[in-house]
Structure 1
Amino acid sequence: MKQNKYDDPGFFEQYSRMPRSIGGLNAAGEWHELRALLPELRDRRVLDLGCGFGWHCRYVREQQARSAVGVDLSEKMLAYARENTNDSAIEYRRLAIEDIDFAAGEFDVAISSLALHYVERFDFVCRKVHHCLVPGGTFILSVEHPVFTALAAQDWHYGPQGERLHWPVDDYQNEGVRQTRFLDNDVVKYHRTIATYINTLLDSGFTITKLSEPQPTQEMLAANSEMRDETRRPIFLLIAAVKN
């Protein structure tokens, strides 16, 4: 299933009002950890899978990457990205992540931020990314954490006064489709265990170099007291891998 909720006008409008949509990378709670996983970008050719508004493409060019190709299925997302990009070394292509078909060794670095939990065949994507990276190339990805995706409700267990008692985890080993609600819309996500993410990358020819389960920074916690609940369970899983 190749979803394109972001071209739904109502969904896109709500997404556009999210802090990370307005503030960019610095408004994304996991960005400080994702940035730390990135390799040296100078003179590198970068592929961004699920590029959205193009924030990562513009960032890597600021870090002197040679070029960036952003892939996304949403025409609305790509239209915004193009309108806010003035750089001939950045190219945006409308394409489902599963349908990429780049040449062997076409890129030095591949990035995917919070997109692959919407993709059914993670194994296909890993093999395609492995193919289009140079030997020693880097694959950096972030997904919603399996603790977060295990239950479709993706919500806290509340007490009688509406207090957040705990984050329930159930059906963790039951991988597959989760019919969830996001921005008041029905959205399909795919739950995988941590072991599946890691083993799929290994089986595709990657070496794992680092994992991260980021928490909000102290600055974020100080600015927003509600963020303290985000320290009680992981919401993101970040993986850095290198092509063997």
Structure 2
Amino acid sequence: MEKHKRESEFDNETFFEEYAKMARSVDGLEAAGEWHQLRPLFPALEGKTVLDLGCGYGWHCRYAAEQGAKAVLGIDLSEKMLESAAWRTRSAAVTYRLCGIEDYEYPENTWDCVISNLALHYIADLDTVFRKIYKTLKPGGTLLFNIEHPSFTAGVDQDWIYSEDGKILYWPIDQYFMPGERVTNFLGCIVKKQHHTLQQILMGVLNSGFTLKAVEEAVPPEGMMDVPGMEDELRRPMMLLVKAEK
């Protein structure tokens, strides 16, 4: 694994251990509330090459291999995540590399599909990343990403407002049109993310040369409504799913 300049919150031992307890960390894609919407957006991957930006545990890398992708590269900034991904992976088609999204070289006309799940909201300069992704995709290639929704990243402390007896009242939004760093407390740790408006995200994709094919806001499936807290996810969007083609 090569050295990198940036650091990942996921290499914080406390944060990593708490994240590992989440349902999506334990049970994978089927436990992710957005998967029922994200899966149909994938293009046919048989014989294709796939780049996963911020691959984490490698769930989407392994899914791509299961769908017949001939070569899959997952990059991530976290050594702990990549160690876990490698341990979980049996397919020879999948390789992992310690590398930040901003630091990858994006070789021209190389990949058929670039995917990114819940990683781009850590990136300050999305426009540059979108342009690099466009360059590295083959003609007709697909960009598919899931990013925290602007309504979520603009949330004050990314938490609800509660009544005195602990009941959820509403989700507060502030400084929506002021993009930049947001510092939150997630899983007992301080986590830094980047807020982007909806216009910045979608126009960043379009201005890079892509054609938008789908824009969806994640809605938990009916079958997950019995999961604690999931019903409250219907009160505001948490994730934004975007599919675009070169």
- Compute the TM-score of the two structures, normalised by the length of structure 1: 0.96
Which residue number in structure 2 is paired with residue 45 of structure 1? 49
Which of 223, 238, 243 is 2:241 aligned to?
238
CA positional deviation for 1:210: 0.6
Distance (whole Å) between structure 2 residues aligned to residue 58 and residue 96 of structure 1: 20
Distance (whole Å) between structure 2 residues aligned to residue 225 and residue 92 of structure 1: 34
Does structure 2 conserve the Cα–Cα contact (< 8 Å) formed by 1:2 and 1:119? no
Which of 98, 110, 127 is 2:114 aligned to?
110
Distance (whole Å) between structure 2 residues aligned to residue 32 and residue 60 of structure 1: 16
In the TM superposition, what whole-angstrom CA distance separates every residue of 1:53-73 from its partner, at most 9, and x where no partner exists? 111010011111111100001
Give 1:1-244 correspondences, 5 Å limit. 2-221=6-225, 223-224=226-227, 226-243=229-246
CA positional deviation for 1:105: 1.1
3-state DSSP of counterpart to 2:127: helix
- Identity of paired residues, percent? 47
- One-letter identity of the residue aligned with 1:240: K
Please say which of residues 204-213 and 149-158 is displaced more in the overlay.
149-158
Distance (whole Å) between structure 1 residues aligned to residue 165 and residue 13 of structure 2: 36
3-state DSSP of counterpart to 2:190: strand
User: How many pairs are equivalent?
Assistant: 242
Does structure 1 conserve the Cα–Cα contact (< 8 Å) formed by 2:7 and 2:78? no
CA RMSD of aligned residues (A): 1.2
CA positional deviation for 1:161: 2.1
- One-letter identity of the residue aligned with 2:96: Y
Distance (whole Å) between structure 2 residues aligned to residue 17 and residue 125 of structure 1: 31
Does structure 2 conserve the Cα–Cα contact (< 8 Å) formed by 1:51 and 1:71? yes
3-state DSSP of counterpart to 1:153: helix
Distance (whole Å) between structure 2 residues aligned to residue 125 and residue 44 of structure 1: 22
CA positional deviation for 1:2: 3.7
Does structure 2 conserve the Cα–Cα contact (< 8 Å) formed by 1:151 and 1:178? no
Distance (whole Å) between structure 2 residues aligned to residue 69 and residue 24 of structure 1: 19
In the TM superposition, what whole-angstrom CA distance separates every residue of 1:123-165 from its partner, at most 9, and x where no partner exists? 1211111111001100001111100111341111112322111
3-state DSSP of counterpart to 1:99: coil
Distance (whole Å) between structure 2 residues aligned to residue 152 and residue 139 of structure 1: 30
Distance (whole Å) between structure 2 residues aligned to residue 162 and residue 8 of structure 1: 30
Distance (whole Å) between structure 1 residues aligned to residue 184 and residue 234 of structure 2: 22
3-state DSSP of counterpart to 2:124: coil
- One-letter identity of the residue aligned with 1:158: Y
